[in-house]
Every structure is written in structure tokens, then in C-alpha cells.
Amino acid sequence: MCDFWDGETWSIPFCRSLATNDVSDWEELMDTLEAVHLGDGHDTPVWALEKRAVTPLDRCTVSCHIGGVINKRMQNLWACRLPMKLKVFLCLANNRRLQTGTALKHKSWKGDANCHICNTAKTVNHIFFHCVIARFVWTCFKEILGWERIPVSLDDIFDHWIQQGCTNRHLKLFTFTIVVWVLFFFEKPAGALPNHLRRGSNVKTVQ
């Protein structure tokens, strides 16, 4: 905690901007930090599962509780009524772990990392939103459904289009996932999907 205290105020950097629904959590965090007084001593470890101050070494991994940052977006995603393959796909996309051209280049892939249509870096947001094909698909939705604009990024989707508690959230999330799933399969490099996702990728058409 001392790394974020400059002696007068708390300075906590973030990798991205806070969404509207995160402001209340931020205010609660700052209220909690106002009651914290830092000293020159060392922190005392607290074991979560036992009252004893000393825990056997073989139980340290299960007894030591480290309170990390809770990703509410991922919690809400895993709670949605979606097939497991779609949940895994969205989780990989949200954490920028899909094997796009840019990601494969970091693994010494010898193929072309650029989009074969736009000739720009093939990232997750490019495949889902910025590519010519993706913009055409989202523009069709915009004209049919009367949207004022089209989504521009994953953060935009989850912060403004499919917020927690919105109407028909499960249906909206399912529809969005199917659209980006198809876009990714259209744009993906050869061998970009893991085997456990590739095996279930066949689409059955009902006549």
C-alpha cells in the first residue's frame, strides 16, 4: 500500500478508465483508505482459515488468503446462461488472449499478422469492430434496430451496451457473442483456435 501513498494523498494508477458503474466501488475504496494510517513497521500476515498465528508449511497455500482485485465483469460473464465454449471464448477475448495475428506474432508465428482486407494489425478489437467486414455487420444491425451508433470496442460493449442489470442481458450477450464468434472465424489465421474450441465450431443449420 505504501507504493500508492505519496505522503499526502493516495495515487493509484489504472490500466484503463473506470466505467460509470465502478464509481461507487471507487468511492468506497477511497473511504476505506482514508481510515488507513501507514507506519514504519512491517505488516503482520493473517491466516484466513485458522486462528493460529503459525500454520504448517504444507497448508500455507490453502491457508494464506491474498485479497486480490475482483473482476466483476468476468464474474457476471461466468454467471450468464451461455454455453461453456462461448464463455471461454468471451473470457479469452476480454483478456486479449485470443490467438489473433498480432498475438501469434509474439510467439514467432511466420504468417502475416495484418488483416488481409484492411492491411492493419489484426487485434481483437480490429476483428470484432474495426475491420471493414465487422463495421458492415454492425452497421446492418444499426440500420435494422435503429441504433444511434455502432460499438467500437469490447470496453464500449460491456460499459454501455450490455451493462450488468440491463434488460434482456442474457439474450444481448448471447447475440453479441455469436456475432463476434463468426467474425473471428472469418478473420482468424490458420490454427488460431485451441482444439477444445475448434472441435465444437461446426454450425448446424435447421431447414
Same domain, yes or no, for 189 and 126? yes
Q: What angle do CA 163, 164, 170 make, to 5 degrees?
A: 90
User: Residues 59-98: pLDDT tens digits?
Assistant: 444 444 444 566 777 777 888 888 888 888 988 888 888 8
Same domain, yes or no, for 91 and 142? yes
What are the CA-CA distances from residue 13 to residues 3, 17, 114 (Å)?
Answer: 11, 10, 32
Q: Which residues of 113-152 are buried (b: 16+ CB within 10 A; e: fewer)?
A: bebeebeeebbbbbbbbbbeebeebbeeeeeeeeeeebbe
pLDDT of residue 196 exceeding 90, the answer is no
Burial class (CB in 10 A: 0-12, 13-18, 19+), 49: exposed
Same domain, yes or no, for 121 and 186? yes
Same domain, yes or no, for 82 and 35? no
Same domain, yes or no, for 23 and 76? no
User: Residues 154-164: pLDDT tens digits?
Assistant: 989 988 888 87
Specify if 203 maps to a domain: no
Alpha-carbon distance of 38 to 51, in angstroms, equals 25
Same domain, yes or no, for 110 and 179? yes
Range of the domain at 10: 2-63
Same domain, yes or no, for 86 and 185? yes
Specify if 166 maps to a domain: yes
Same domain, yes or no, for 116 and 151? yes
Same domain, yes or no, for 82 and 165? yes
Q: Which residues of 157-181 are buried (b: 16+ CB within 10 A; e: fewer)?
A: bbbeebeeeeeeeeeebbebbeebb
Same domain, yes or no, for 18 and 91? no
Query: Roughly what angle, to the nearest 10 degrees, separates helices 72-79 and 84-94?
Result: 160
Q: What is the average pLDDT score of the chain? A: 76
Q: What backbone torsions phi and psi does residue 5 show, to the nearest 5 degrees? A: -115, 120
Q: What percent of the chain has pLDDT over 70?
A: 71
User: Locate cell 446462461: which residue?
Assistant: 81
Mean pLDDT highest for which of 16-30, 109-123, 142-156? Answer: 142-156
> Higher-confidence residue: 167 or 200?
167
Same domain, yes or no, for 77 and 171? yes
Specify if 206 maps to a domain: no
